[in-house]
A and B are shown apart, each in its own frame.
Chain A
Amino acid sequence: MSYLVAENLEQALTMLQEAGKGSRIIAGATDLFLQELPANLIDINAVPEMLVISETEYSLEIGAAVTHTAASQSSLICAKATALAEASAQVGSPQIRNIGTIGGNVVNAAPAADAAVALVALGAKAVIINSKKIMREEPVENLYRHYNQSTIESGKEMIIKFMIENNAGILGSAFLRFAARQSLCLPMVNAAAWVNIENDLLKEVRLVLAPVKPAPTRLKETEKRLIGAPLTAETWRLAGDAATEEVTVRGSLLRCSAQYRRHLVGVLAERVIAKAVKAACERKEGEQR
């Protein structure tokens, strides 16, 4: 029975090895704390290797223990991973954002976790390390086993950081959510998009909607139909119509009916593609100035 606070990655891994069965890595623990806690907790909130926000030639790197507050206020994330900054700014409440982390948002594996939805749209990969120090990379969208269950085994391994590839091109991303209130409220639907523009046409698109399936879901049929499309209102409408056709949604007694959710999928898909394109164009203008 123990609560250990790791001061660095090396120490966290040693703790994980020694704690053995019934132990679990925790970060903000804002979701976990309301459930029954495992006997041994290893708190990684202060591990410096997991708090980085930096850029290399190839990728943007965001530590798994970066809080939503830090992510939403980072100028690098605002510029290069706009969807994530926008998503993190809307998680829970200021109090939750000050303690909840990006990595926790993914490992907690809620279907419509705002930051996770944005990370999937950004094509982010998670860098995972286990107690034997073996590392692997996994796209965020592959980290979901069932509803609210991650493939990450928090008693044996942990996400260190997320990597978002630094593509060339005119890139932009955006995030939107619709909920009954603006704070402390799960979204009826949330959406994130990432676009790459060439010759005023959509060259690449990733469009993610949730909750549609247990994991944040890319609408690949809709994405295909958008490739090569011009940057016009008609294209945004196409995104909305195609997204509505592509998804099967469920209603929920607490949040909204299936019919209303399907309507929202169309509206948000339309708006989020337009918003991502706008972000890409503004970023290009900013760079030219």
Chain B
Amino acid sequence: MKKEMISFFLNGESIEVYADPASSLLHLLREKLDLYGTKEGCGQGECGACTVLLDNLPVNSCLIPVGKVKNRTVLTIEGLSVGEEYHPLQKAFVEEGAVQCGFCSPGMIMSAYALLKQNPQPSAMEVKRAISGNLCRCSGYKQIETAVAAAAEKLKAEGDSG
């Protein structure tokens, strides 16, 4: 498809990019905008490694045509940290050993981030459901679930004290 100028909000900033509206958001992020945090796993919406938030909801960026994000808000893993300061979810993933090969981590964290925004104190089952669209082939999920719960605690404590 012919390229056109597409503007949207990416990680809090308004951007304009000249791109094919029928190409995938994933490829735009990785190949044109140099945001390599979002991973390409299956490329078919099965693994969740490419999860980003579109208007605050997790979606598979490999299945999103760029034309769909016009004037909308996209948040990627790069948008979570503030400068050198990592987000509590990112820290919890490191501290709880939830990262082994690391390929699923950005997608997992984005799904978990969307959950905690909507539901700051999720039950164990709600955490499982929130990451049910993200495959991990190393960890067995346990440490990931623990990390999400730990981050929820931390965020709550920060909220209470702040």
Contact = CB atoms under 8 A, between A and B. Distances in A.
A3 B133 contact: no
Contacts of A92: 45, 133
B104 to A, nearest CB: 13
Contacts of A1: 1-2
Contact of B21 (A3, A34, A182, A183): A3
A149 B111 CA distance: 33
A17 B41 CA distance: 38
Interface size range of chain B in the complex: 20 to 34
B106 interface: no
Contacts of B21: 2-3, 41
B1 to A, nearest CB: 5
B119 interface: no
Nearest to A93: B133
Interface in B23-77: 24, 44-46, 48, 51, 54, 57-60, 63-68, 70
Given A41-B22, A69-B57, A184-B46, A96 B133 contact: yes
B155 to A, nearest CB: 20
Interface in A26-43: 29-30, 33-34, 37, 39, 41, 43
B129 A94 contact: yes
B48 A93 contact: yes
B132 A45 contact: no
A3 B132 contact: no
Given A1-B1, A5-B70, A41-B22, A96 B65 contact: no
A33 B65 contact: yes
Contacts of A184: 46, 132-133, 135
Nearest to A69: B57
Interface in A216-253: none
A2 B1 CA distance: 7
* Residues of A contacting B: mostly: loop
Interface in B101-124: 111
Nearest to A94: B133
Contacts of B1: 1-3, 37, 39
B130 interface: yes
B111 A37 contact: no
Contacts, number: 83
Given A29-B63, A99-B64, A94 B58 contact: yes
A182 B22 CA distance: 31
Of listed B2, B44, B58, B129, residue having the most chain A CB within 10 A: B58
A95 B59 contact: yes
B61 to A, nearest CB: 9
B28 to A, nearest CB: 13
Interface residues of A, number: 24
A126 to B, nearest CB: 24
Given A1-B1, A39-B1, A41-B22, A94 B130 contact: yes
A128 to B, nearest CB: 23
Given A69-B57, A94-B132, A98-B58, A2 B2 contact: yes
Interface string A90-127: 00111110110000000000000000000000000000
B108 to A, nearest CB: 12
A99 B58 CA distance: 9
A258 B116 CA distance: 43
A3 B59 contact: no
Nearest to B24: A33
Contact of A95 (B22, B24, B48, B67): B48
A94 B111 contact: yes
A34 B63 CA distance: 8
Closest 8 CB pairs of A and B: A93-B133, A3-B67, A3-B21, A183-B132, A98-B57, A95-B133, A1-B2, A95-B60
Interface of B: 1-2, 4, 21-22, 24, 44-46, 48, 51, 54, 57-60, 63-68, 70, 111, 129-130, 132-135
Given A2-B1, A98-B57, 7 more contacts: A3-B1, A33-B64, A37-B22, A94-B129, A94-B130, A96-B45, A99-B59
11 contacts: A3-B65, A3-B66, A29-B63, A30-B45, A30-B63, A33-B24, A34-B44, A41-B21, A41-B67, A93-B132, A183-B133
